[in-house]
Structure 1
Amino acid sequence: MKIGLVLEESGPYQAAYITQWGTATKAAADYINKERGGFGGRQVEVVECDSESTTAGALTCANKMAAAKVDFVTGYSLNFGPNGVPVLEKAGIPVQMFPIATQDYTAANSFPLAGGSAASYPARALYSINKGEKVAVFTAVDSVPAQLALKQLEPIYQQAGGSVLNALIPASSADVAPTIAKIMQAKPEVVINSLSGVKGAALYAGLFAQGLDPSKVFGSGTLVDVDNFYAKVQPQAALEGSIYELECASPDDVTNPDVAVYRKAMKDYTSIEGRSQNALLGFSVVMTNFKLAESMGFANFTKESMAKAYSTQTVPVFAGASYSRAAAPKDYPAIGNPYVKYVRYAGGKIENVQEGWTNSATGKTEDKP
């Protein structure tokens, strides 16, 4: 049983949260091999490839996966959508990368278990509007995806009688002070933040120093990472009560049996706790397919039967909601799981703001879609 794993392991796009996805994917393989008797008796092999933050690297990885005849491909790579997904579509290989590019959102062989920006931005906008927060500021590193996100946010706030201010930071700038000043001058009711790393940590600290309540800062799920983001923000009070959307269950919610399995496997087979969204998502892809194969009979699980299941039926997602192309937003037919959780970071824990899963397209909350 071969699982393809494509990651930005080098180059300018390499990041700790991408590494965590890979660590958790391999932990899931170890857990299945050592505690679940393999994939219906077959050992799970992870075929790994570094896409090197380049288009050429992404294409090389896609060709490697096709040549290795992997059963499906997962991972996190900014260039893989336009360069890798078409290659794997020709090879009949399902893809479950974290969705970033158009191909991830629309290709017939793409079945991402998270919604990416297609879910993140509408979910955050609808949540803040429902709370009466209609004056928003959006900040991120200026890029094509950030500009597209701004175009997603603007009509949602405008239809609610509100507005969203552009506070994007030039990619070449390391100084967030002008952005902090711009945000404070706007007196926003909510800050939609997608800054991560050093810039993200500086933003939270700077806004707190200027007197902004951290509960007014609404971060993306990628920031839900205890080791690689929360630990970097000083003082920790700058994070207290800050809000995030998650595209999986909270990695701290060990009352969820899936999360409990995940946390134990991370303890047993890795050197990290895995208290992050992207680590849990990496683990989830492997376990969702394991459970899908178990339900249909391992002997019946093939690339073709897997693709058919995701294309035509509802598939329960490990530590998540469910995947169903019938539930996909109109413009994103591959996003079969547009549901999110809302969480806050308080007292060093990632705690649920409300129960249930919220459809990012409609704002409707359900117990278990």
Structure 2
Amino acid sequence: MEEFELSPAKNSFRQLKEQWEEAELLDEDNNLNLKHISDEEFIQLFFSMRIIKKSLSPHTIRSYNQDMKTILSFFYEREITLKSIGFMEVKLFNEEMMNQYANRTAARKLEFFRRMLEFGHATHFYPSLYTTWIEKPSISKGHYSDKEKQNRTEYRELTDREAQVIVNALESVVRIRQHEKEFKARNRLMGMLLYMSGMRSSELLSLNWGSFREDRRGNLVVDVIGKGKKERTIPVFDDVKETLFTYRQALNESTELSPFDTDPLFYSIKEYYRTGEKKRLSYTTLYRTIKSAVYKVKGNASISPHWFRHTFITNSLANDVPLAVVKQVVGHSSIATTNVYLEKLQEDTVYDAFRKSGYR
């Protein structure tokens, strides 16, 4: 199944109107009417009109593409066209998503499905508003897991010890003897940045060497472009700084900071030595590398790169970094999101209170 390309629409309003009129997509009241178009045309219009946004991250685009593939695979394998979806088909898909996926993933896929059905009804592709019959699973806000651990809520974060063990294991999972030094240095830096910066995976992979600079006090910082193209600055701690320069030296790259260097920080090492091209590292490579390290140390199979971000936030708050500062560093749009992490820290507070009172 081909992947859908999400790129901003380049046509002007007049050009679009002419195209729609020519394709007989506008009714007599100039409303969009997709009643007679094919599934493929419907999907194309749905993506171009409701999904595409310039601020979407590569990770979000991948998720939307995957959600569309899930829908198509489910219905086409059952010889059901999108056009023929009705009440029973919606309930069938809803049940399958709830059974097959964890709550968070199921909720995301069902939300995408809901948006598609809503668009279909608004454009007369569907005669009824089938979104009425979608029931999404309830999920906890914040960094909770969908799974239970000994009948208790499991948090999608790591202890300091767990994070350090996984970061160390990132070097040992390198199996390529050629350029082994470079691969090990790259893997360790990826792990250190995830663990000690709170970056999202997409932010990490979009870094350039020119993203790093010294502030007015001479401290090393990195400028990150986050969700919605919002810029923020993250401090680079000494351990990460040392690992960063070690990585650059392993690749025979300059360690002199340059704001004009737009080369990707992380790129395909094998491709570079073969062609000289610095092809930016993909999320798939990052994900598989982290998973390999987790498997190596027999860690929780659910651990993903994003767990390090949750860990950084909790650790920062536990070390009395002000809530507003943590919010700014990790790029939360609302301080309420950051505040959720304080709930996990209440266990430690309760324990310390009793210990200070003389309990043992």
Q: Indicate whether the TM-score tops 0.5.
A: no
Higher strand share: 1
* Higher RCO, Cα 8 Å, sep 6+: 1
Question: Which TM-score applies when normalising by structure 2?
Answer: 0.27
Larger Cα-atom Rg: 2
Question: Which TM-score applies when normalising by structure 1?
Answer: 0.26
